[in-house]
Amino acid sequence: MNSKKAGPQTKKPVVILAVIAIVVAALFMRELAWKEGGMSSNAPVDQGEVRQLPKQKVVTARPHVMPLKQVVIYRAQNVSYDNFDAAIFAQGQLEYASSLPVGSEVSLYVEAIKVNGPSGLQAGTRCTDEQAAASYFRDTITMDKRFCPDFNDAILDGRAVYGIVPTEAVFLHKSNGERCYKVNDGNTEYLVNPASVYFREYLVRRSAEKLEQHSLDTLFLDDLRPGWTGIMSACEGAPREYLLPSAYYTELVGLAQYVHDNLPSYKIEGNLATVSSQWDRFAFLDGVMCESCFSNWGGAWPTSSKMISDLATLQTWIDSGKELYVIVYPPDVTESSNRFTFAASLLVAEPDKTYFHFGVSGEFHPLPEYDYDLGLPTGAYICNGSVCSRQFENGLVRVDFLTKKGSVNLGVSQME
């Protein structure tokens, strides 16, 4: 017979239910009092020395926005790299990339129309040990002293590189059969034939190796629109392979297209020199440089009509979602010229897509406007005669292409 008492076991659930009922009633009465008194249940509650405050909405500060960023081109700088947000560096300058702000765009610079190598090497001449060991600029695809083993001597040996045997047809030649070349600051540059199957494949394969080696995702091809005068100077006349510049430029487009199509994992950018109708032929590129934009290689300013026409071409490029580098080589490096071209570039600028450099590659000319919190553009630029303007969230940009004056005005709207 079970001798345990049943009383406590039957009363315990009743006690618990009674306590729950009392607590629920108390909470109901407090909520009713809040509603009748116009109080919110989120209002501070006096608990003696402790006072609970309502949760405040977290407001994230809007980031400082200047849609046009500064870019380092080609050379090391003598100012802090904190001033820049992008760089185009050859292999020899990549050591400076780590000094740029975190997240900066860095492109590997490679020449598209020439290769560096030891001087004095013409068809049929083998590299001496001294020439094979010679150092030269690392801004072409023969960086790391690859001219002798991969070009000059591979031709003589009939030796395949990357599965292709190079021939003398990889180079441009003078009418007498000599290789076209020029000497630049003690460095010999041999002009290549952009139609060469070997050069195209070599450029792709070596570029891929270098991009992976340096953990970069962007290749920048320089001189995709070189001056024909410079080609004729190096060849002492028209090169034997191209009597007309149009045929040469067509092959350059083909070269750039080949690189783009065969490096699908990387962005391919190029220097198209000054704005021209030829830009349409490079629509496959991921970014372009307008070198000597709104300027004339240090000569007199272009006409206002030319600059406004160029502005429309730049806008078309930006509208396609591509990146744009605006490089200015003005007739003078005054603050007024800097402000004029900076404001002109802002007329088409888009955040994280547009970069600017004023003056020669190793110089930096600061302006207060570089650091303005201009905000995002609220629309496209509009022109009235020679005066063009564009509204931003925090100000107005106005440019007079006739007088070569520009302004970036914070707190001003288009209607004022």
Q: What is the pLDDT of residues 344-393, one digit of tens each?
A: 999 999 999 999 999 988 889 999 999 999 999 999 999 999 999 999 99
DSSP conformation class of 52: E
Provide the pLDDT for residue 27: 43
Among 8-22, 185-199, 324-338, name the one with the lowest average pLDDT: 8-22
* CB-neighbour burial class of residue 16 (10 A; exposed 0-12, middle 13-18, buried 19+): exposed
Q: Which two tokens stand for residue 108?
A: 């590997």
Place of tokens 């001087």: 119
Residues whose CB falls within 8 Å of the CB of residue 413, separated by 6 or more in sequence, listed in order: 391, 396
Provide the pLDDT for residue 63: 67
Provide the pLDDT for residue 40: 36
Provide the pLDDT for residue 62: 53
Q: Which two tokens stand for residue 311?
A: 């502005």
Query: What distance in Å separates the CA atoms of residue 269 and residue 284, rounded to the nearest whole number?
Result: 9
Residue 54 has pLDDT above 60, yes or no: no
Provide the pLDDT for residue 309: 97
Provide the pLDDT for residue 39: 34
Average pLDDT over every residue of 255-272: 98
Q: Which two tokens stand for residue 294?
A: 């709104």
Query: What distance in Å separates the CA atoms of residue 229 and residue 237, rounded to the nearest whole number?
Result: 9
Provide the pLDDT for residue 76: 84
Place of tokens 């034997």: 240
Provide the pLDDT for residue 185: 79
Residue 176 has pLDDT above 90, yes or no: yes
Q: How confident is the model at residue 414 (pLDDT cuts 50, 70, 90)?
A: confident
Provide the pLDDT for residue 269: 98
* CB-neighbour burial class of residue 13 (10 A; exposed 0-12, middle 13-18, buried 19+): exposed
Residue 6 has pLDDT above 60, yes or no: no
Average pLDDT over every residue of 155-168: 98
Provide the pLDDT for residue 415: 60
Provide the pLDDT for residue 31: 44
How would you label 171-199 residue by residue, b for 16+ Cβ within 10 Å and e otherwise? Answer: bbbbeeeebbbeeeeebbbbbbbbbbebb
Give the model confidence (pLDDT) of 215-263 as tens digits: 999 999 999 999 999 999 999 999 999 999 999 999 999 999 999 999 9
Provide the pLDDT for residue 187: 86
Strand 323-328 relative to strand 114-117: parallel, antiparallel, unpaired?
unpaired
Q: How confident is the model at residue 199 (pLDDT cuts 50, 70, 90)?
A: very high
Residue 74 has pLDDT above 50, yes or no: yes
Residue 50 has pLDDT above 80, yes or no: no
Hey, what domains does the chain have and what are their CATH numbers?
69-113+194-376 (3.20.20.70)
* CB-neighbour burial class of residue 86 (10 A; exposed 0-12, middle 13-18, buried 19+): buried
Residue 190 has pLDDT above 90, yes or no: yes
Q: How confident is the model at residue 276 (pLDDT cuts 50, 70, 90)?
A: very high
Strand 395-400 relative to strand 86-89: parallel, antiparallel, unpaired?
unpaired
Work out the mean pLDDT of the chain and round it to a whole number. Answer: 87
Please choose, from the candidates 314, 218, 307, the residue with its C-alpha nearest in 3D space to the C-alpha of residue 268. Answer: 218
DSSP conformation class of 164: B
Provide the pLDDT for residue 7: 38
State how far Cα 238 lies from the chain centre: 34
Provide the pLDDT for residue 270: 98
Q: How confident is the model at residue 32 (pLDDT cuts 50, 70, 90)?
A: very low
Q: Which two tokens stand for residue 271?
A: 């220097």
Radius of gyration (Cα) for the chain, nearest Å?
33
Query: What distance in Å separates the CA atoms of residue 104 and residue 97, rounded to the nearest whole number?
Result: 9
Please choose, from the candidates 68, 71, 119, 146, the residue with its C-alpha nearest in 3D space to the C-alpha of residue 372. Answer: 68
Hey, CA dihedral for 304, 309, 315, 317, is it positive or negative? negative
Residue 412 has pLDDT above 70, yes or no: yes
Provide the pLDDT for residue 416: 60
